[in-house]
Amino acid sequence: MTRPTPPRGLHHITAIAGDPSENLHFYQQVLGMRLVKKSVNQDDPATYHLFYADGDGNPGTDITFFPWAHAQPGTPGVGVVERTLLTVPPASLPYWRQRLESQGVRTEAPRAHFGEPTLAFSDPHGLALALVEAEDPFTFTPWRASPVPAEHQIRALHGARVPVRELDPTRRFLEDVMGFVHLAEEDGWHRFVLRGARGLDAEGVERGSAGAGHLLDLREAPGEARGAWGVGSVHHLAWTVDDADHQVRLRDAVASAGRRPSEIIDRFWFQSVYFMEPGGVLFELATKGPGFSVDEDPEALGERLILPPWLEGHRTQIEAALPDLGPAAVSEPRA
Ligand code: ZN
């Protein structure tokens, strides 16, 4: 079988948060990301789905949350993302460390991982994050109204670190089906990067620091218990596919590998397929388009509650069931 073209990198990462107004404050006012879509969980419309990204909501820049204020905290362990990595411009970590500490966010001392300067901290609900200095992997549009100056703004999703009970099954799946290559090993972490990432040559050989936005770091942890989703954990990692055709070809390859992918689901701003990789992490394949401005003026992204067309008829009940997001969400500050 010919191998399908690999995904084009990360599309979005979705995580579970606690209180939605605290989540909004942290990602918008502390990390300076734009709320590009305020919607609801399509499977649980009494819960928000909040999307933070760059100024235009470009694919690969987007971290999204289901705020379940009353859910249990997540349990770390194999099959659950241990830390989510975000790309920031080279030489911006001193700015970020000072900014985060001044806002009461405790940071670890910056250190290099796979040669990249990395600043680790957690969001208010325990989601482990790190800012990593690297070149922009994707199209990036600064958010003009951000409290963070454009030259320091978060550029993209960088990658994720995941402990797995056994490395080999996930490794074979990543390499044979998803089109990753094994790049390096450091301190027990194995770095995998999608073919086609910047900094790789045709054979997938590294040229310097490579792969921002296309990375998955795995650590084999045979003795660790299975982790569990909850507040502060990543729910799934979504990878970008070009279009419906690309999605079908990858979905077929995933099915041939015995991973039982879902049907193609219309998420309105993109089309999605879900499946578990062998290590227990939920993956999604999401199309590049049509994107977040399909139903909103790009200038006004995130300002009003957006519902997919099939939920629009229930707007009154849905709005009544959702918690107030507080003054931060009344309108976006303008540059
Ligand atoms: Zn998703």
pLDDT band at 334 (very low <50, low <70, confident <90, very high): very low
**Which residue range forms the structural domain that includes residue 214?**
10-321
Q: Say yes or no to pLDDT of 220 above 60.
A: yes
Q: List Cα–Cα distances, 256 to 89, 153, 181, 185, 219, in angstroms.
A: 39, 41, 20, 29, 26
Q: Say yes or no to pLDDT of 331 above 70.
A: no
Q: Say yes or no to pLDDT of 205 above 60.
A: no
Is residue 328 one of the residues assigned to a domain? no
Q: Say yes or no to pLDDT of 200 above 80.
A: no
Is residue 329 one of the residues assigned to a domain? no
Is residue 327 one of the residues assigned to a domain? no
CB 97 within 8 A of CB 110: yes
Paired strand residues for 51: 37, 64
- How close is the Cα of 77 to the center of ligand 1, in Å? 21
Q: What is the domain count for the chain?
A: 1
Which residues does 281 contact at the CB level (< 8 Å), separation at least 6?
A: 79, 80, 81, 162, 164, 236, 237
- How close is the Cα of 16 to the center of ligand 1, in Å? 12
Average pLDDT over residues 289-313: 87
Is residue 334 one of the residues assigned to a domain? no
Is residue 335 one of the residues assigned to a domain? no
Is residue 1 one of the residues assigned to a domain? no
DSSP β-ladder status, 234-241 and 10-17? antiparallel
Q: Residue 42: what pLDDT?
A: 87
Which DSSP category does 276 fall into? E
The string of pLDDT tens digits covering residues 62-119 is 999 999 989 999 999 999 999 999 999 999 999 999 999 999 999 999 999 999 999 9
Please classify residue 168 by burial: count the beta carbons closer than 10 Å to its beta carbon, then call 0-12 exposed, 13-18 middle and 19+ buried.
Answer: exposed
Q: Say yes or no to pLDDT of 227 above 90.
A: yes
User: Which DSSP string do the residues of 94-147 spell out, in sequence order?
Assistant: HHHHHHHHHTT---PPPEEETTEEEEEEE-TT--EEEEEE----S-----TT-S
For residue 108, the domain's CATH number is 3.10.180.10
| Backbone CA torsion sign across 145, 151, 154, 155 | positive
Compare 279 and 297 and report the one with higher pLDDT.
Answer: 279
- How close is the Cα of 13 to the center of ligand 1, in Å? 7
- How close is the Cα of 261 to the center of ligand 1, in Å? 14
- How close is the Cα of 208 to the center of ligand 1, in Å? 31
The string of pLDDT tens digits covering residues 36-46 is 999 999 889 99
Is residue 39 one of the residues assigned to a domain? yes
Is residue 182 one of the residues assigned to a domain? yes
Q: Say yes or no to pLDDT of 190 above 70.
A: yes
The closest of 197, 192, 203, 196 to 170, measured between CA atoms, is: 192
Residues with CB under 5 A from ligand 1 (ion): 14, 238, 284
- How close is the Cα of 318 to the center of ligand 1, in Å? 21
Average pLDDT over residues 130-137: 94
Q: Residue 335: what pLDDT?
A: 40
Q: What is the mean pLDDT of the chain?
A: 92
Verdict on whether the full-model pTM lies above 0.75: yes
The four Cα atoms 138, 35, 92, 121 give a dihedral, to 10 degrees, of -110
Q: Residue 293: what pLDDT?
A: 80
Q: Which two tokens stand for residue 126?
A: 């325990």
